[in-house]
Structure 1
Amino acid sequence: MKADVLERILTAHEGGAWAPETLHELDAREEFPAEAVAVLDGAGLAASYVLTPDSDFPAMAELIRAVARRDLTVAIAHGKTFLGTVPVWIDGTPAQTRRLAGRVRAGDAVCWGLTERAHGSDLLAGELTATREDGAWRLDGEKYLINNGSRARLGTVLARTDPAGGGRGFSLFLVDRDDLPPTAWQALPKVPTHGIRGADISGFVLNGARVPADALIGNPGDGLGLVLRSLQLTRIACLGLSLGAADHALRLARDFVTGRELYGRRLSDLPHVRRTLGRAAAAALAAEAVSILAGRSVHELPGELSVTSAVAKAYVPTQVQELLGRLGELIGLRGFVVSPPGSGFAKLDRDHRICAVFDGSTVVNRTALLTQAPRLGRLLRRTAADTSAVRAAADLGTPSTPIDPALLTLTSATGCSLVQSLPEAVERIRGQGNPELTLLAETVERQSRELATELADFVPVSGGLPSGAFALAERYERLYAAAACLRLWLHNPARPAGALTRDALWPRACLTHLLDLPETQAYDDLAAVVIDWTAPAFTLLDGAV
């Protein structure tokens, strides 16, 4: 399924289950949006969550984005099935993969049981146990704050299989709730949440839940490593949630500033308003550039996803939340009242905050990046890169390499080729003869040389990182975003068609934003594009994915 097909299906239900007022009422009652989810099931969206070598990972993320720009609660509730299935797609047996694919296509929800009440994201402290018993496994314990914890029919559950714990002390199991007696899987009550109020954020308790030997995913002791490799894919898929939120926010802000007047002038005619709108649009496009390169790297640079996924998951939700802050100031108080016209923004703002937490918070992802910082610095200084793979990832007209989960690694021996190939990209930008874009690109390259030295000299320490270290990670994220923008521009100079590509508008605006330079004409010109925007997504893709 393509995103434009899903968009037409959802549009057809705008008078019913997908009516904004209906979804708002459900949110106010903290009620699960069952009818909206049923529309997605009927459309066959879940089939896109079945990962095969021929899957198109960026296209799946675009489907998530299409749902998220209408309602984040529904997108998060439905998309959780993909997160819960990834370990099986990576390391499941053919029989496990076949059975799970059938259940997912049939619309059965799958949850991912990782976290526990007393331990949060400290997976090494997990207490839910799995013990061998007469050729099977017995699971006992609780998983808490689990999306779809009570609605799911299947769950991928992390369990302690060695009482001593440790890195090899945990395993993953695919637990089929339909094969258990009711007392073996007891759903916990829904937990009230600040955002995504209608989502099934709950948990479950397993009491003597006997599962067959073939419920084990991979081998005993593989659990934590498999979780970390799975996160490399789920973190990138989650970016579609933030891009959908950015689409929604830009549309709400655009409609507000073009529909209101101040002192006899439309708000959108005021210079400060236009530049604020333009910078928000630049931030959205930079976030999309990161998401596109990360998604295509699943196909072209899978061995580097330990870096790419951490960078993308730290950068995109954080930038979109800042975008929401800028646009919230434009809309003002009307954006936070309970009734129209601004109620959509208030819900969007609080719903999106959870996106930075899913599958590792910003701090967790920056910490993961910093553990590889010295190697990243050395490779950046040497400009060692797989440039052919970078070009394949950036050229939206190039058919993607089949997905091979066996190539996922816990650390990247080759660093991050996109960032490390930056000097070549800048040289090609010089050859295009656009003085303003060249100056911006050269500034990025100069900052990359400075950062390379600091990263190479950085020494990760156990027991916590100094607060200043996270600034290094944030700078690396911005460098990745700038490299993504430059590469997409170089390899797709005519995409998207129209004003965004005229005089290299979108890359100039994005680099101006990423370098945090003073406001320029580029923001004004980008605001004009937003004001005239009519498509569902504010995007660089132009139908390419």
Structure 2
Amino acid sequence: DARRTPPAETEALLTEEGLGAEFVPARLGGRLTRADLLARALRPVFRRDVALGFGHGIISLFAAGAVWAQGDARQRQEMAGLLLGGGRATILHHELAHANAILRHEFTARQSPDGYRVGGRKDVIINARRAGLQVVYARTEPARGPRSHSVLLLDPARQDTAHLRHLPRVETSGMRGALFSGLEFTDCPVPADALVGSPGDGVGLALRAFQVNRSLICGVVTAAAGTVLHSAVRAATEDRAGPVARRWHKPLAGVFADLLACDAMATVVLRALSLLPASAHVLAAAVKYVVPDLLRENLEELATVLGARGHDHASPEYGALDKLVRDLPVAGLGHAGSASCQAVLVPQLRGLAERSWFVEQEPPPQLFAPRAELPDLDYSLLGIAGGGDFMAASLVASADRTAALRGPGAHLGALAGAFATELRTLREQCRRIPPGAAALNDPAVVRLSDRYARVAGAAAVLGTWEGQDGTDPFLTDPAWAVLALTRTGQRLNIPVPQLPDGVQDTVLGELLRRHREGRSCDLDALAYTP
């Protein structure tokens, strides 16, 4: 990272292990079946380096999503062959999820007798020089609208260099080990068979692929935050014979509970992409809105534990905090990413309040069961509008069931009831949202989308706790969910009961055990090598 150089030996190792196969559907010879299993496979990479995870990892999936959704047999085989052979693909998009600078400029493609002529320039594209295939979202209609863009699959080796110019590398503040540079097309000829799907399919394909991309980012970047949490525990326990100082109990246990909540949210939506593909788009946007905000807040809390050590660039034990703070915005976890998620949520709120909340049936239990079998991910089945709100239905059902709990679970029931009450309040407020695009410019309506997204996240935590099969005593215990939901309720400023005695100590005890045993800070608690 300090040298701004990709780690060549690590990239070679990942290529040898066949990382590219994780992004290729099993029916095409790869290992991609479900998005939640893909996140689990990628976490060891992101736990070490977000830039590596993007530059030698999921950016290829982001590019390939449109091809898996609507490419023809030749295009799918070409993409699969590239990734299975250790190559990379990149994406050229006017609103790519991973970097705010991508919002500038766009590409255009005008029809010609033998295909298309592509023009335009982008200054910041990851792997622009190293990619074996380029997936270009180009404007094919001058008027704005849902059919304004199309997708083209380009092979750089076949492009006329007289019409294509590689621009210099761009140094970014974060993800410094990734290679960003630009491309400029000048009336570049492209064959007709480069078109993915039909003319005008670009916006729909982007909305489908972004559901996977957004959810996957949340699932894997949480693992990077787990590395920072481990470093904070190390700082709080090293050279100390006795227990952790009392002043560090709240930030350490609280951040651990939040990371479990983030994993619950991401895992639920990643599973929903397979189980409930027609209606997962609402939850995908909500999770992508909530998780980055939680992670930023968590890093600020951990900075108080780490102190100056958290900004020691040269320290392998403590430098993860400073690096992740720089990496997150470049990874699409900044304000532009939040705004794009609100643009998905706000137009849906009134319809959901009128037709879905407190009416829809709860989702199947397989959504939350850790070992339940699910259908394979199929990009072509992902919906982009409508479909109801299964997470609101899950919250209502969870609140009804947990209201009858006694003992340690009674507090969880009270929390579930508080969030169900908040959803009822949101229903009345969202029914009054005026129709039309003006709602996106109304701060009061945008605030409703914020509150809704956090309520949906709380529903994911409740469903995940209820879905435990008893094999993990800690996850079966309600303590982690109680702490996570209490913190969420306090952020929303809704009335939640006082945290019971012993909850924080239980969560902290599990975190210390995982630190001693070298286990991850997510729902899987997998062993790893620091």
Matched AA of 1:282: A
Residue 450 of structure 1 corresponds to 425
What CA distance in whole angstroms lies between the structure 1 residues aligned with 2:445 and 2:459? 22
Q: Does 1:505 align with 2:486?
A: no
Q: Corresponding residue for 2:7?
A: 33
Query: How do 1:99-138 residues align onto structure 2 when only pairs under 5 Å count?
Result: 99-115=78-94, 127-138=106-117
Question: In the alignment, is residue 338 of structure 1 matched against residue 313 of structure 2?
Answer: yes
For residue 260 of structure 1, report the CA deviation from its aligned partner: 4.6
Consecutive unaligned residues in structure 2, runs of 5 or more: 491-495
**1:483/1:130 CA distance change after superposition, 3 Å:** same
Q: In the alignment, which of 421, 430, 434 is matched to residue 403 of structure 2?
A: 430
Take 1:92 and 1:180, find their aligned partners in 2: how far apart are those partners? 20
1:422 Cα deviation after fit:
1.8
1:183 CA displacement: 3.7
CA-to-aligned-CA distance 1:306-339 (integer Å, 9 cap, x gap): 2111111111122112111110111111211333
Residue among 97, 121, 128 paired with 1:142: 121
Mapping 1:386-401, distance limit 5 Å: 386-388=362-364, 391-401=365-375
Residue among 474, 479, 488 paired with 1:514? 488
1:210 aligns with 2:189: yes
Instruction: Give the corresponding residue for 2:53.
Output: 75
Distance in 1 separating the partners of 2:121 and 2:332: 24
Equivalent residue for 2:381? 407
Query: Hey, what's the Cα distance between the residues in 2 that align with 1:537 and 1:342?
Result: 17
3-state SS, counterpart of residue 185 of structure 2: strand
- Give the 3 Å change call, closer, same or farther, for CA 98–221 of structure 1 in structure 2: same
What displacement does 1:116 show?
8.3
CA distance in 2, matches of 1:137, 1:471: 43
Are 2:345 and 1:369 aligned? yes
* Distance across 2 between alignment mates of 1:247 and 1:302: 29
> Which residue pairs with 2:290 in the alignment?
315
How do 1:158-237 and structure 2 match up within 5 A?
A: 158-237=137-216
The amino acid that maps onto 1:443 is A
TM-score by length of 1: 0.87
Distance 1:519 1:338 in 2: 37
Against the structure 1 CA distance between its residues 106 and 96, is the aligned structure 2 distance closer, same or farther, given a 3 Å change threshold? same
Q: Which residue does 2:493 correspond to in 1?
A: none
Q: How many Å separate the matches in 2 of 1:124 and 1:32? A: 25
Check the 8 A contact 2:345/2:449 in 1, yes or no.
yes
In the alignment, the residues of structure 1 paired with residue 199 and residue 335 of structure 2 have an alpha-carbon distance, to the nearest angstrom, of: 23
Is the Cα–Cα contact under 8 Å of residues 286 and 454 in structure 2 kept in the other structure? no
Matches within 5 A, 1:49-68: 49-51=23-25, 55-68=33-46
Alignment partners' CA distance in 2, 1:381 and 1:365: 20
Provide the rounded CA distance (Å) in 2 between the counterparts of 1:219 and 1:69: 39
SS in 2 for 1:189: strand
Q: Please give the secondary structure, in 2, of the residue aligned with 1:207.
A: strand
- Looking at structure 2, the residues matched to 542 and 343 of structure 1 have their Cα atoms a distance apart, in angstroms, of 23
Where does residue 98 of structure 1 map in the other structure? 77
* Kept in 2: contact 1:111–1:149 (CA 8 A): yes
Contact 1:429-1:437 within 8 A present in 2 as well: yes
Output the CA distance in 2 between the equivalents of 1:424 and 1:163.
47
CA contact (8 A) 1:150 1:188 kept: no
Give the Cα separation in 1 of the matches to 2:250 and 2:144.
Answer: 54
2-side partners of 1:409 and 1:461: how far apart? 21
Is the alpha carbon distance of 1:232 and 1:116 closer, same or farther for their aligned partners in structure 2, counting shifts above 3 Å? closer
- 1:270, CA displacement in angstroms? 2.1
Alpha carbons of 1:488 and 1:338: their partners in 2 closer, same or farther (altered >3 Å)? closer
1:44 to 2:14 alignment: no
TM-score, normalization: structure 2? 0.89
**Counterpart-to-counterpart distance in 2, 1:353 and 1:164:** 31
Deviation of the 1:277 alpha carbon = 0.4
The amino acid of 2:9's aligned partner reads E
Aligned letter for 1:345?
Answer: L
Match of 1:484 in 2: 460
Residues 378 and 123 of structure 1: CA distance in aligned 2, closer, same or farther (over 3 Å): farther
- 1:471-513, CA deviations, whole angstroms, 9 ceiling, x for partnerless residues? 2122112211211111112121415x243433x2222222122
| SS of residue in 2 equivalent to 1:141 | strand
- Give the distance between the partners of 1:197 and 1:473, measured in 2 at CA: 33
Please tell me whether the aligned partners of residues 106 and 122 of structure 2 are also in contact (alpha carbons under 8 angstroms): no
Deviates more, 1:55-64 or 1:341-350: 341-350
Alpha-carbon spacing, 1:454–1:343, altered in 2? closer, same or farther (3 Å): same
Distance in 1 separating the partners of 2:336 and 2:64: 17
* Paired residues of 1:392 and 1:400 also in contact (CA < 8 A): yes
Residues in 2 aligned to 1:333 and 1:124: alpha-carbon distance in whole angstroms: 34
Q: Tell me which amino acid in the other structure corresponds to 1:522.
A: V
1:419 to 368, 385, 392: 392
Q: How far, CA to CA, are the matches of 2:149 and 2:343 in structure 1?
A: 22
Structure 1: gaps of 5 or more residues: 1-26
CA deviation profile, 1:264-318 (whole Å, cap 9, x unmatched): x75x622220111000011101101101100000111111122111111111122
The answer as to 2:430 corresponding to 1:474 is no
C-alpha separation in 2, matches of 1:355 and 1:140 = 26
Counterpart Cα distance in 2 of 1:479 and 1:192: 38
Q: 1:350 aligns with which of 326, 348, 360?
A: 326
- Secondary structure at the aligned position of 2:375 is classed as coil
Paired residues, number:
506
Find the residue that maps to 1:129 and give its secondary structure: strand
1:539 and 2:528 correspond: no
- Deviation string 1:41-85 (CA, Å, 9 cap, x unpaired) is 111111111135771210111222221111111011122111011
Tell me the CA shift for residue 432 of structure 1. Answer: 4.0
Mean alpha-carbon deviation: is it higher for 356-365 or for 120-129?
Answer: 120-129
Given that 2:133 and 2:153 are in contact with CA atoms closer than 8 Å, whether structure 1 keeps it comes out as yes
How far apart, in 2, do the equivalents of 1:28 and 1:362 lie? 29
Contact 2:105 2:120 in 1 (8 A): no
